[in-house]
Amino acid sequence: MPVTLRPGQALGLWRSVLLAQVLDDAPDLTTRQMAILLTIYLDPPPHTIRGLAAKLSVTKPVITRALDTMGAMKLVSRHRDEADRRNVLVRRTVEGSLFVETIGDTIIAKARDLPT
């Protein structure tokens, strides 16, 4: 059973979730950072810099810098791959799981309250 939205509903949902993020005290992540974060939390591991860059069609420095920022926020963590020490494996954190979960809750709540 597909999820069916009318144009006004789709845009209204989008806006109310964005608005919740703007009103929140938490510093906004950029569109790219958010896409990276959700990829890490929704796609199965392992996640490498190169793999993330390919999935989003961005350059590697974009991933490195995004991980710097989100790492400082404790939303993700980095670890050397002991099997091939050139690789860096990106892992989830407790704080990041909570953060992503909260976003999901917001989307669900705003979708539920959508005018019919």
Partner DNA sequence: CGTATTCGTTTCGGGTCCGTATCAAGCTAG
Partner DNA sequence: CTAGCTTGATACGGACCCGAAACGAATACG
Task: Take residue 32 and report the two structure tokens written for it.
Answer: 């790219």
Report how many residues bind DNA under the rule CB under 7 A: 25
Shortest spacing between CB 4 and DNA, in angstroms: 33
d(C-alpha 87, C-alpha 97), whole Å: 23
Task: Take residue 65 and report the two structure tokens written for it.
Answer: 């810098």
* Among 3, 25, 44, 85, interactor with DNA by CB under 7 A: 85
Where do contacts with a copy of itself occur on this chain (CB under 8 A)? 1-15, 17-19, 21-23, 28-32, 34-35, 38-39, 41-42, 56-58, 100-101, 103-105, 107-108, 111-114, 116
Where do contacts with DNA occur on this chain (CB under 7 A)? 30, 32-33, 48-51, 58-69, 78, 84-88
